[in-house]
C-alpha cells in the first residue's frame, strides 16, 4: 500500500539516526540519541525537491521532518538514598527534564515507563543497596520521544558500565484508519494517526551457541517484547501488524546501537600485543 | 579440548551486553575463570558490560572496559581520601558506591597504642581486602603478609582523577609507553590506584604538571602517539 509521508519517506523508513556516547564530562555515563536531522548540509541531501534553501546560508531545512533529540546522563551506582533504598536490589531512578517548563502528567508517565524498562534490562542484584540515576533531557521533540529516550538511556547505561542482561531498542509504530502502519512518525504524523504503539525489543545478540539453541518457545530472543505502550484506538490486527514491522526495524536499530557503542571504545585500550 | 572456532571469533572483539561468548556444554572437563563483565547463565556465559573480550592462556576470560565509576574488588590497590576518623575505623572515599572502612589496626604492627593520625582530606595508598555486596568495602594498609609494603599516607604531590581504563593501562606490564618515555628524562614518583586516581610527586612543580598532563592526554592515544606527545612536551620545557 502506498502511503505519502510529508517528508517523502516510505512507511518502513526510519529517520536518520545519530548516537554519541561519553559527551558529558561530569556524568559517569552519557549519550545523546537523535532521530532525524533538523539541518542537513547541502552536500549531503538526497531528496532534492524537499529542501527549501535558506538565503545566504549553506544549510537547508528538511520540510516537515524535524528531529527528536534526547540527552541521557547516568550517575551511579552511588549510595542508596533513603527514598529508594532496597537492601537486596539496586534501584534506578529516572528524572525527566522537558525542553521547557515543569514536568506534567505525561512526563511522569514517561519516567515510570522508562524506569520499569530499564529495571528489566539491568542486573539489579550485582550492586545491591545502590541507586543509579538516569537523567533524560529532551533537546528537541518531533515525535517518537519516548522510544528515543529509551534508546538514549540504554546507550548511556552501557557507557557508565552498569551491568545489564541485554540491550533494548525502542521504536514507535503508528497505525492509520485504512489499516496501514508507519514507523518512526514525526509529531505531525503522530497527531494525524488514530493510534500508535511504543515497542521495546531486546537487541539481537552475537552468540557462539549453535543455531536455534537460544530460541524461546520456537522464537528468537529478540522477538520478545520488553515494553509495549499504546495510545489511541487500535484493532488487534493493526497491533500485530505494528509489532511485525517494529520487529523488522528493531534489527536495524540494534545493529546501529552496536556499531555506535563499538566506535566509542578505543581499539588500543589494551597494550597486550 | 580446543575452543570452537566461533568462540575464537569473539575473543579480542568488542562485545555488548547480552552477547553469548562461551558455550559451556561444549567445554566440559575444562576449568575456566571468568573476570569482570561476564556472567554465567546455565550452560552459557554472557556479557554484562560493553568492552573488548579478552582471553589469557590457559583459561581466563574477561571483558576489558573503561568507566568513570569504580566498583571495589578484592585485592585492588586504590588511592583513597580520608573523609572521617572514628574510634575503630577511618572512613575513606575510594570513588566507589559507598564509603570504605579502614580499621585503625590495619597497619604494620598496629596496636591500640600506636594508632596513626590522619587529617581529613589526606590521601592514602591502600588495598581492598573485603568487597562484599551490601557491605561497605574494607581496606588495609598492609600487604597479605602484614608488611607495610609502600602502603600508607602519600605526602605532598598532586592527585588527579582519570578513568579506570587509563589507570589499568598505567599499571600494565610491560610499562606503558607514556611512563617509559617520561621516566627516561625525568625523575618523579607516581602511585596509580585501580579506582582511577593517580598521584604524582617530583622535585619541581613543573615536572609534576608535565607528568600529569602527559598522563591525562594519553587516554585515547596509541603507543606511537603517546611517544610523540611526550617528546613534544619534553621539548617545550628544554
Per residue in B64-108, pLDDT (tens digit) is 888 888 989 999 999 999 999 998 999 999 998 889 999 999 988
Domain-embedded: residue A268? no
Domain-embedded: residue B201? yes
Strand partners, A134: A74, A94
Q: How far apart are CA A224 and CA A252, in angstroms?
A: 16
Domain-embedded: residue A272? no
Domain-embedded: residue B70? no
Q: What is the DSSP string of B33-78?
A: EE-TTEEEETTEEEE-S-EEEEEETTTEEEEE---SS----TT-EE
pLDDT at A3: 64
In angstroms, the separation between the Cα of residue A111 and the nearest Cα of chain B is 23
- Any A CB within 8 A of B94 CB: no
Domain of A94?
Answer: 17-40+59-263
Contacts of A169 in chain B (CB under 8 A): none
Query: Are residue B92 and residue B120 in the same domain, yes or no?
Result: yes
Residue in chain B lying closest to A161 (CA): B49
* Burial letters A212-244, b for 16+ CB under 10 A, else e: eeeeeeeeebbbeebbebbeeebeeebbebbbe
The CATH number of residue A205's host domain is: 3.30.230.70
For residue B14, the Cα-to-chain-centroid distance in whole angstroms is 21
Query: Which class for A273: exposed (0-12), middle (13-18), buried (19 or more C-beta within 10 A)?
Result: exposed
Contact A172, A185 (CB under 8 A): yes
Contact A155, A168 (CB under 8 A): no
Query: Are residue B162 and residue B228 in the same domain, yes or no?
Result: yes
Domain of B219?
Answer: 158-237
pLDDT at A210: 74
Q: How far apart are CA B11 and CA B5, in angstroms?
A: 10
Cell numbers that stand for B105 in this block: 589496626
Query: Are residue B195 and residue B232 in the same domain, yes or no?
Result: yes
How many CB atoms sit inside 10 A of residue B7's CB? Answer: 19
φ, ψ (nearest 5 deg) of residue A226: -90, -50
Q: How far apart are CA B24 and CA A269, in angstroms?
A: 28
Q: What is the ipTM of this complex?
A: 0.86
Count helices and strands (H / E) in chain B.
5, 16
Q: How far apart are CA B222 and CA A37, in angstroms?
A: 33
φ, ψ (nearest 5 deg) of residue B164: -65, -30
Domain-embedded: residue B210? yes
Query: Are residue B166 and residue B100 in the same domain, yes or no?
Result: no
Per residue in A14-37, pLDDT (tens digit) is 889 999 999 998 899 999 999 986
Number of domains in chain B: 3
Contact A161/B17, CB-based, under 8 Å? no
Cα dihedral: B64, B70, B73, B75 (round 10): 90
Question: Which of B58, B59, B124, B60 lies closest to B89, judged by CA?
Answer: B124
Contact A165/B10, CB-based, under 8 Å? no
φ, ψ (nearest 5 deg) of residue B180: -65, -45
Instruction: Tell me which of B139 and A128 has the higher pLDDT.
Output: B139
Query: Are residue B167 and residue B233 in the same domain, yes or no?
Result: yes
The CATH number of residue B12's host domain is: 2.40.50.100
Query: Are residue B110 and residue B143 in the same domain, yes or no?
Result: yes
Contact B16/A209, CB-based, under 8 Å? no
- Any B CB within 8 A of A103 CB: no
Query: Are residue B52 and residue B109 in the same domain, yes or no?
Result: no
pLDDT tens digits for chain A (273 residues)?
A: 556 787 788 888 888 999 999 999 889 999 999 998 654 444 444 444 344 443 333 444 444 457 899 999 999 888 877 777 788 889 999 999 999 999 999 999 999 999 999 999 999 998 888 899 999 999 999 889 999 999 999 999 999 999 999 999 999 999 887 778 889 988 888 888 888 899 999 988 888 877 666 666 667 777 789 999 998 888 898 899 899 999 999 999 999 999 998 887 655 444 333
Query: What's the per-residue H, E or C state across B59-71?
Result: CEEEEECCCCCCC
Amino acid at each position: 500500500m502506498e502511503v505519502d509521508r510529508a517528508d517523502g519517506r516510505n512507511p518502513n523508513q526510519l529517520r536518520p539516526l545519530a548516537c554519541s556516547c561519553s559527551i558529558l564530562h561530569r556524568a559517569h555515563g552519557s549519550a545523546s540519541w537523535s532521530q532525524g536531522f533538523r539541518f542537513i548540509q547541502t552536500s549531503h541531501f538526497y531528496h532534492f525537491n524537499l529542501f527549501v534553501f535558506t538565503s545566504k546560508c549553506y544549510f537547508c531545512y528538511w520540510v516537515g521532518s524535524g528531529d527528536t533529540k534526547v540527552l541521557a546522563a547516568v550517575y551511579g551506582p552511588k549510595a542508596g538514598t533513603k527514598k529508594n533504598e532496597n537492601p537486596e536490589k539496586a534501584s534506578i531512578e529516572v528524572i525527566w527534564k522537558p525542553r521547557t517548563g515543569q514536568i506534567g502528567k505525561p512526563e511522569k508517565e514517561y519516567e515510570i515507563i522508562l524506569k520499569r524498562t530499564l529495571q528489566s534490562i539491568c542486573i539489579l542484584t550485582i550492586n545491591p543497596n545502590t541507586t543509579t540515576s538516569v537523567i533524560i533531557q529532551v533537546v528537541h521533540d518531533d515525535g517518537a520521544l519516548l522510544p528515543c529516550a529509551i534508546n538514549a538511556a540504554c546507550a548511556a547505561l552501557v557507557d557508565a558500565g552498569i551491568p545489564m542482561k541485554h540491550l533494548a531498542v525502542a521504536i514507535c509504530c503508528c497505525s492509520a484508519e485504512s489499516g496501514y502502519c508507519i514507523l518512526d512518525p514525526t509529531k505531525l504524523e503522530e497527531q494525524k494517526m488514530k493510534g500508535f504503539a511504543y515497542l521495546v525489543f531486546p537487541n539481537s545478540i552475537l552468540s557462539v551457541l549453535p543455531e536455534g539453541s537460544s530460541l524461546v518457545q520456537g522464537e528468537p530472543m529478540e522477538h520478545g517484547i520488553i515494553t509495549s505502550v499504546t495510545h489511541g484506538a487500535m484493532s488487534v490486527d493493526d497491533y500485530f501488524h505494528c509489532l511485525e514491522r517494529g520487529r523488522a526495524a528493531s534489527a536495524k536499530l540494534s545493529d546501529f546501537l552496536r556499531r555506535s557503542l563499538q566506535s566509542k571504545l578505543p581499539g588500543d585500550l589494551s597494550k597486550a600485543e | 579440548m580446543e575452543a570452537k572456532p566461533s568462540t575464537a571469533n569473539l575473543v579480542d572483539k568488542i562485545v555488548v551486553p547480552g552477547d553469548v561468548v562461551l558455550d559451556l556444554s561444549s567445554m566440559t572437563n575444562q576449568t575456566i575463570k571468568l573476570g569482570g563483565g561476564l556472567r554465567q547463565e546455565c550452560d552459557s556465559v554472557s556479557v554484562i558490560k560493553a568492552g573488548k573480550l579478552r582471553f589469557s592462556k590457559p583459561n581466563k576470560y574477561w571483558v576489558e572496559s573503561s568507566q568513570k565509576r569504580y566498583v571495589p574488588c578484592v585485592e585492588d590497590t586504590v588511592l583513597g581520601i580520608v573523609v572521617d576518623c572514628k574510634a575503630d575505623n577511618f572512613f575513606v572515599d575510594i570513588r566507589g558506591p559507598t564509603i570504605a572502612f579502614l580499621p585503625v589496626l590495619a597497619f604494620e604492627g598496629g596496636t591500640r597504642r600506636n594508632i596513626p593520625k590522619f587529617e581529613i582530606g589526606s590521601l592514602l595508598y591502600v588495598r581492598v581486602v573485603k568487597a562484599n555486596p551490601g557491605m561497605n568495602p574494607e581496606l588495609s594498609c598492609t600487604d597479605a603478609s602484614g608488611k607495610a609494603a609502600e602502603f600508607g599516607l602519600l605526602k605532598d604531590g598532586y592527585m588527579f582523577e582519570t578513568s579506570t581504563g587509563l589507570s589499568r593501562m598505567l599499571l600494565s606490564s610491560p610499562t606503558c609507553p607514556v611512563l617509559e618515555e617520561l621516566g627516561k628524562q625525568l625523575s618523579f614518583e607516581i602511585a596509580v590506584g585501580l579506582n582511577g586516581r593517580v598521584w604524582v610527586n617530583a622535585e619541581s612543580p613543573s615536572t609534576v604538571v608535565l607528568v600529569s598532563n602527559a598522563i591525562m592526554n594519553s587516554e585515547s592515544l596509541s603507543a606511537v602517539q603517546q611517544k610523540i606527545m611526550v617528546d613534544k612536551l619534553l621539548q617545550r620545557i628544554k
